[in-house]
Amino acid sequence: MPEAANFADWLAICNLRAAYCLFLDTKDWERWRDLFTDDCILDTTASGGTLEQGRDRFVDQIRTSLAGARTAHQVHSPQIEIDGDRAVGVWAMQDRVIKDDFALTGYGHYHEVCIRTPDGWKIAEQTLTRLILEIDRPGN
């Protein structure tokens, strides 16, 4: 459990991560974009994806890749270490993506760095690692 002095920050970071899942799954791209710093880094290379820098670039990339998809993202079991205006966290995750020609279910972790800004906590770096990836294709 976080120290009492850090609990408000810990809770704000948990709410940031909850908003991440909600806005991503509801395709609320403007509100999802606002959860990140301008120069954030998103690394999904360990999961077969790309390394992107700058929130506009990767929000556009995610928006395009999820066009027409139904998604459900869940995170839990946060481990967050807060040091002043910087926090490092690891979240267990599960996601489900259903698109025209495939469906996938993934299990793994989000590793991230959040920083305190004048507008509250924002995600500055995020790496997605997967332990299990199940892909279903119609007819297989």
**Confidence band (pLDDT; 50, 70, 90) for 6?**
confident
How many domains is the chain partitioned into structurally?
Answer: 1
Query: Which residues touch 60 (CB under 8 Å, ≥6 apart)?
Result: none
In which domain, by residue range, is 39 found?
4-136
* pLDDT tens profile 110-127: 999 999 999 999 999 999
User: Residue 68: which residues within 8 A CB-CB, separation 6 or more?
Assistant: 99, 100
CATH number at residue 38: 3.10.450.50
* pLDDT tens per residue across span 54-94: 999 999 999 999 999 999 999 999 999 999 999 999 999 99
Enter the pTM of the model.
0.92
